[in-house]
Amino acid sequence: MFSGASTFADAVDGAFLFILVISVALLVLITFLMIYFVIKYNRKRHKKAVNIEGSLPLEILWTVIPTILVLAMFWYGWYGYKKIRDVPEDAMVVQVSGQMWQWSFTYENGLVTDTLYVPVDTPVRLNLISLDVNHSIFIPAFRVKEDVIPNRTNFTWFQATNVGSYDIACAEYCGLLHAYMYTKVVVMEEEDYSQWFVTASAEMDAGEPEEIES
């Protein structure tokens, strides 16, 4: 937490921290009140129960405050979610295929790799397909996680902010070797990425069999 490598990291961490703080505050408040009332209304002090009339202001208060808190958490989460679903028009497109138990990445020129290579500070759209069962692509450092479903094309996107190598995992149980369905996303400087892409594409072309004329 607080060490993300994409433009989503701050928003996701902020929403998580906001919800965590509210949850801890409510836990402390409720626990304190529970202990306080247990001590104050102990049977030794109040052997005979006394009927207490309801309080309208109090009922309104404990209805309005939780409603405001829940709506605030919803808005915070929805605001970040909209950004995650709003893909820039100039985003680089990569098709991601999930299958038991590996990932493969297909670039726009047909190049296929088992590791995702992307340039830094560039929006990247991932079109997600599954070749067998349900998967879920998860890049913890980018705060990105999206389901990969058979017979359906899903999508997500990110913009990496730091050069480096980051884990990609499957976050949906998909069978015996689910825990081993790992690979990497390698974030490179623009110049280094361009050089890698040209070299990898040339190797792909050189490895293709020549067409036989009939």
Q: Which domains does the chain have, with CATH numbers?
A: 9-85 (1.10.287.90), 92-206 (2.60.40.420)
| pLDDT score, position 14 | 86
Residue 149 has pLDDT above 70, yes or no: yes
DSSP letter string, the chain: -----BTTHHHHHHHHHHHHHHHHHHHHHHHHHHHHHHHHT-TTT--S-------HHHHHHHHHHHHHHHHHHHHHHHHHHHHHH---TT-EEEEEEEETTEEEEE-TTS-EESSEEEETT-EEEEEEEESSS-EEEEEGGGTEEEEE-BT--EEEEEEB-S-EEEEEEE-S--STTGGG--EEEEEE-HHHHHHHHHHHHHHHHHHSPPPPP-
Predicted pLDDT at 171: 93
Against a cut of 0.85, is the pTM above it? no
Per-residue pLDDT band for 148 (boundaries 50, 70, 90) equals very high
pLDDT of residue 187: 95
* Average pLDDT, integer, range 44-67: 81
Q: Give residue 2's pLDDT band: very low, low, confident or very high (50, 70, 90).
A: low
| Over residues 96-117, mean pLDDT | 94
Q: What is the mean pLDDT of residues 164-188?
A: 94
Q: What is the mean pLDDT of the chain?
A: 88
- In order of 27, 125, 142, the CA distances from 115 in angstroms are 43, 15, 16
Residue 100 has pLDDT above 70, yes or no: yes
